[in-house]
Structure 1
Amino acid sequence: MEESSIQPAKLTYVRDSISFEVEGEVPIISALSPKNPKIEIQLRGSNMVLDLGELNLNKLVGKYEYKKSFKLKYEPWMESSMVELLFYQGKNIGSPTEKKILAKGVITTPLLAKVGKVNPDEPIPQVGLFIPTGSLNKDLSRYGEFSLLFSSGSSKITNSSANEKVLDSLKKFILKYPLITSIKITGTQSPESAEGKNSKLGMDRAEAAVKYLTDSNLLFSDSLLEVSSRWNDWFDFRLLLRDFESLSTQRKDQFYSILLNGQDYQTQSIALRKITGFNQVSRDLFPKLRAAKIEIQAKPLSGLDQQQTAKLKAALEGSGVNSGLSQLEWAIAGESSPRLDDKEVIYSKMTELFRSALPYNNLAVVKMRQAQRTLDPKKQAEFWEEANRLLDQAAKIENSPYVLHNQGQILILQDKTWDAYKKLSDASVLTKNEDFLRLNESLRGALDIIRGDYKLATLRFQYQYSTSKDFFNKGLAYFMSGDFANASLSFEESVTAGRSYGYGFYGLALIAAASGQEEVALIHLKRAIDSSELLYQKSLIDPEFEELRQTQEFFEIFK
């Protein structure tokens, strides 16, 4: 079976299936042909064997030929399977005379898309959308980014109109969203010679920004504050270049081809300066790199006052008593309660008091999140069933995009992705609310990736995101569509948003491996497998890293 081959050489998951074609020939090398030749094909996993039948042999002069196409519905066990040919001859066929493995593993990169499923040793994903009251946005964290600028080579913040404007914007943001969950201050330096030859200036700028905010009566808990610097790093420059409108797409591609080639900073710097238009780019963008970038995650205040809380307690302890609270006040109470158990009690009571989609939908979300927290499959199915019943009741009262989104989310968790996609699509039609669309379209985009509509998926992610998960899904959409430049930016944003979230590193490793940058791929892969057992196991069988697995360096990173 020396002449046997398979196309594609690496099996790939596409639209819930794997397709391939096997062809070859069996030579007749003497006057005596093989006796009763027969070739069988199997897809073999560690605990499963799928018999794909016998190949039809067409006898010609001097050889037998065979060719056959296959399309199989993908099942999880196939990811680590192999396609194997078995050759038999003779009347008493027992063991095969010859075996040949044509392909190992299945590329399942689209299935990395994050859609809310729980994986071992990873944080439990937040699923379901509560219908908001309109007065609170507690479930929607807000992200703010502000940059204080410095003079060349300096770490002293000047009271320029630009910096005063930044400070004013920052104060307004915090006033609107006072519940700060994290603040990150990063000092950056431009590649200009006046910026120095070490990273001290960047850190000095970051610390100057901390003092500047403190002196402006903006105080932050040390546990929420992260202070760092970047130097000899083109990451911030790439972000600025992406939105630089004075440069053509073709010229930007020239920059990106250098910035993403995996070479060291100095080599890239020399190459960049040779590009036509570099002087204009450096003149306009380098001053923006003399900065301290301030990134804040925050939420608005929420909850009832003392008098309203007393009324709520009386209503919950009574029997069918409302105690004078309005539906909005009940909804605020449920929305501001941090514990799922408390939300369950409040929304359950609301279904007795008000004919509204809100309590039914929000109680369903509670059930969905309780399902995420149980390891018992039977109990999980019961939670989903109860959530669906509540959502059906909500749908009878109001045609709500939130209800449709949540129905779609449950269908995804039940592996009914095609039905889920229809629900999410219908949900997007019903509203123009930017916050809702950002979340609904990101989930819809993740399904586009799984469904194989990669170009369409990139269009779903045209919103401002702040979580590692959304940045990763966005990067995955670009990677699958072949746009490595935007994929790399999104994966790096995923890493920046959460260093412990290994999927961004895995994405960067995929890009490096596809670009032939083995050393860079190994660096990113090491960071990915250190953060996730699932990625650890996947990297050992992923055909995307087949060439890397031929090297000793690959196995060194697993020690």
Structure 2
Amino acid sequence: MSARLFSKKIKIFNFLILSMLVQFSFGQDLRFLNDIDVKQEKLVYLRDSVRFTVKGKIPIESVMTPRNPQLRLVWKSETDSINFGMLSLKKNLSDYSVEKDFKVPFKPWMESAALEARFFQGKKASNQPYEIKVLKKGVDTTPFLAKIGRVVPDEQIPTVGLVIPVGVTGREAVRNREFQFFFNPGESTYLKNSSNESVFGDMTSFLTENPAIVSVKITGLQSPEQKEGRSSRLGMDRATTIKNEIVKRNLLLRDTIIQVSSRWNDWFDLRLLLRDFPELSTSQKDSYYAILMNGEDFLTQQEQLRSINGFDQLSRQLFPKLRVAKVEIIAKPGSGLGTEKTAILRQELEENIATSKLSFLDWAIAGETAPRLEEKARIYSKMTTLFRSPLPYNNLGLVRIREAQRTLDRDVQENLWNEAEWLLQQAIKLENNPYSLHNLGQIYALKGNYWEAYKYLSEASVLTRDPEFLMVNESLRGALDILRGDYKLATLRYDYAFTDPADFFNKGLAYFLAGNYGEASLAFEESVIRSRDFGYGYYGLALVAINSGQKEIAMIQLEKAVAANESIYLKALIDPNFDELRGIPEFFQILRRNK
């Protein structure tokens, strides 16, 4: 376990002790502060600050009239605190009333802090309050879950930034395509018709253009139609059939890269079809989503769907589209230098030369295809002395950014970011280009300067219409929209064919914070499908469930999340969204089982 995680665990342990004390204080009988509270249901981070209103009354009765009453507000954690001083009390006939709005710049320590009202009375000044009431504990920092490329201990290092590609096609760009093969009802034998053969033709073309295979996933589906039968093997048999066809046609050099799975008694794929089905209005789709997301079992949901007017017609149109095997291929274009040019490259890297026997394109390809960051750095550094172009400066700057991703030493990170920023500015001086602007935005995002980052990303977005560039750029802009509190705008950034589970999680987070739980669930589920080990997709589903009043489903999803990722485990312990679950013994049993 990293030192940073251990330190955070200690802080969280102290927070849990505080929470127990808070629960105790909530149970105490209060004479004067019982009606003092925060208007908001919970303290929430929004646009760099936390906003709340303290409101209530202090009673005046003959048996307990407060003498010289004073009300102080304090926000404290184990490490820091804010003393807001005495609040102004208005004397009425039967009480003293108070109402005051606060807008406080957010600090990380507030996430595990308690907001206290402290009541003083008496003629003599005293540092000891007569009563203390904990108004709220913790801050809902859900927007901070947005993935912006920041490294989290014990998680996979995210890939950040963009190279200036060689020519029109970037060799680092990852392509993702889905191919669907249809089957006859209840059958798993390959259907050799013009439609399926055309799909194989498209697949062959895709693999020819992108021979560097990253992954191949085949998922067999089974329609709920009665003629599909009751065997749970049908989907897997269909996936295996398509795998065998791919192997027989020699489409891949390594058959072992193929992953085969199936889905049965699962409405996920129907939800995807509903989302893009033009014959239903938004309200009609919502009626379906309300059932499909209610947490009931498959058969119960099936009966509920049948009660919707028009479902029979819809099922006749959509169910046949579920008799398929889906093939998702992630691949990159081919690249590399020949043996002779590679030998020249290695020689010239060691020499002090003013001109090269190799072309600019040769050097650029060598830099892109070098397997290690150290090699890339040597090549791009040499290129800056041989060619007047923004490409080597940008790509060397990107190398420094990615090197910074591989250390948790903040001083080392800052030095690498500063060098990268200088290199990127040099690239922009040579030619104002979207790639260097994007990478500058990425640096500022990692530094936490979200407004400056957003400015650079926005400038980059208007310099190109390349869909692959825009997909990456808009994804990061969407994450920053989440952090900046523009949730509805963030949802508009994710209309691309993503493959990264982090992008689907950010998409779900944007919809969740915008209050659209149906779309949020779809995106979170897609994140889970892309990677169960990532864990955040499950956490998103838990957030949707708990905020929809589905405690049992929230517990199920939360257990899956914390089992996958220790960082999520630490977040779950203090997340105010799950406050009501902490009173359930099973909540801590789940945590103990998985840690």
| TM-score, normalised by the number of residues in structure 1 | 0.98
Aligned pairs for 1:151-550 (under 5 A) are 151-219=184-252, 221=254, 223-550=256-583
Distance in 2, Cα, partners of 1:66 & 1:391: 54
1:273-312 deviation line (CA, Å, top 9, x unaligned)? 1212212221121111111111111111111112221221
Distance in 1, Cα, partners of 2:503 & 2:486: 17
Report the Cα distance in structure 2 between the residues aligned to 1:270 and 1:220, rounded to whole angstroms.
46
Q: Is the contact made by 1:311 and 1:323 (CA closer than 8 Å) also made in structure 2?
A: no
**Aligned partners of 2:356 and 2:386 also within 8 Å:** no
Which residue is 1:17 aligned to?
Answer: 49
* 1:36 CA displacement: 2.1
Match of 1:8 in 2: 40
SS in 2 for 1:487: helix
Give the direction of change, closer, same or farther, for the CA distance of 1:15–1:68 in structure 2 (3 Å limit).
same
SS of alignment partner, residue 100 of structure 1: strand
Is 2:108 aligned against 1:58?
Answer: no
How far, CA to CA, are the matches of 1:384 and 1:216 in structure 2?
48
Aligned-partner residue type, residue 291 of structure 1:
V
Q: Percent identity?
A: 53
In structure 2, distance between residues paired with 1:222 and 1:212: 11
SS at match of 2:85: strand
Aligned amino acid, residue 106 of structure 2 = Y
Query: Hey, what's the Cα distance between the residues in 1 that align with 2:67 and 2:225?
Result: 77
The one-letter amino acid of 1:106's match is: V
**Could you tell me which residue of structure 2 aligns to residue 75 of structure 1?**
107
Match of 2:78 in 1: 46
Mark the runs of 5 or more structure 2 residues left unpaired by the alignment: 1-32
Q: Distance in 1 between matches of 2:411 and 2:527?
A: 34
**Cα distance, 1:377 vs. partner?**
1.4
Deviation for aligned residue 1:46:
2.4
Q: Between 106-115 and 247-256, report the one with greater CA deviation.
A: 247-256
Shift of residue 388, structure 1, vs aligned partner? 0.9
Give the C-alpha shift of residue 162 in structure 1.
1.2
Q: Give the whole-Å Cα distance in 2 for the aligned partners of 1:221 and 1:325.
A: 33
Cα distance change of structure 1 residues 160 and 446 upon mapping to structure 2, 3 Å threshold: same
Partner of 2:8: none
- What is the CA deviation profile of residues 520-542 of structure 1, one whole-angstrom value per residue up to 9, with x for unaligned ones? 11111111111222211111111
C-alpha separation between the residues in 1 aligned to 2:375 and 2:333? 20
Rounded to whole Å, the distance in 2 between the matches of 1:52 and 1:421 is 33
Instruction: For 2:372 and 2:167, locate their aligned partners in 1 and report how far apart those are by CA, in whole Å.
Output: 21
Contact persistence 1:10–1:103 (CA under 8 A): yes
Of 214-223 and 113-122, deviating more is 214-223
Is 2:141 aligned against 1:141?
Answer: no
| Offset at residue 548 of structure 1 (A) | 1.6
Equivalent residue letter for 1:141? V
Q: Distance in 1 between matches of 2:241 and 2:466?
A: 39
Residues 136 and 332, structure 1, Cα contact 8 Å, conserved in 2: no
Code of the aligned partner of 1:151: N
| Alpha carbons 2:354, 2:385 under 8 Å: kept | no
Label 1:170 to 1:65 Cα distance change in 2 as closer, same or farther (>3 A).
same
In structure 2, relative to structure 1, the CA distance for the partners of 1:112 and 1:302 (3 Å cut) is same
Separation in structure 1 between the aligned mates of residue 346 and residue 169 of structure 2, nearest angstrom: 21
Shift of 1:220: 5.6
Displacement of 1:222:
5.1
Q: 1:115-126 residue pairs with structure 2 within 5 A?
A: 115-126=148-159
Measure how far apart 1:198 and its partner are: 3.2
Q: How many residues align?
A: 559
Q: Which SS does the other structure have where 2:309 is aligned?
A: coil
- 1-side partners of 2:447 and 2:89: how far apart? 43
Which is further off, 422-431 or 195-204?
195-204
How many angstroms apart in 1 are the aligned matches of 2:194 and 2:335? 34
- Given that 1:202 and 1:231 are in contact with CA atoms closer than 8 Å, whether structure 2 keeps it comes out as yes
- Paired residue for 1:109, among 106, 119, 142? 142
Paired with 1:426 and 1:508, the residues of 2 have a C-alpha distance of 34
Q: Secondary structure at the match of 2:591?
A: coil
The change in CA–CA distance for 1:393 and 1:493 in structure 2 (over 3 A counts) is same
1: distance between equivalents of 2:356 and 2:368? 19
Question: Where does structure 1 lack aligned partners over 5 or more consecutive residues?
Answer: none
Residue type of the partner of 1:65?
S
Alpha-carbon shift at residue 218 of structure 1 (Å): 2.6
Asked if structure 1 preserves the Cα contact closer than 8 Å seen for 2:482 and 2:510, the reply is: yes
Distance 1:263 1:507 in 2: 18
Q: Are the equivalent residues in 2 in contact too, given 1:203–1:229 (CA < 8 A)?
A: yes
> CA distance change for structure 1 residues 99 and 223 in 2, over 3 Å: closer, same or farther?
farther
| Structure 1 residues 371 and 265: alpha-carbon distance in aligned structure 2, compared to 1, 3 A threshold | same
Report the RMSD for the aligned CA atoms in angstroms.
Answer: 1.3
Which residue identity lines up with residue 89 of structure 2 in the other structure?
Answer: L
Letter of the structure 1 residue corresponding to residue 73 of structure 2:
I
Checking the alignment, whether the CA contact within 8 Å between 2:247 and 2:255 is kept in structure 1 is no
Task: Give the alignment's TM-score, normalised by structure 2.
Answer: 0.92
Letter in 1 for 2:357: G
CA contact (8 A) 1:314 1:323 kept: no
- For the pair 1:35 / 2:67, whether they are aligned, the reply is yes
2:45 alignment partner AA: Y
Whether the 8 Å CA contact 1:448–1:457 is kept in 2: the answer is: yes
1:157-212 CA distance string (max 9 Å, x none): 12111111111111111111111111111111000112222311111111111112
1:39, 1:55 within 8 Å by CA — same for their partners in 2? Answer: yes
Query: Alpha carbons of 1:153 and 1:326: their partners in 2 closer, same or farther (altered >3 Å)?
Result: same
Question: Quick one: distance in 1 between partners of 2:37 and 2:198?
Answer: 65
| One-letter code aligned to 1:461 | Y
Shift of 1:490: 0.7
Q: Which residue of 1 aligns with 2:26?
A: none
Report the alpha carbon displacement of residue 98 of structure 1 after superposing the two structures with TM: 0.6
- Is the 8 Å Cα contact of residues 315 and 321 (structure 1) preserved in structure 2? no
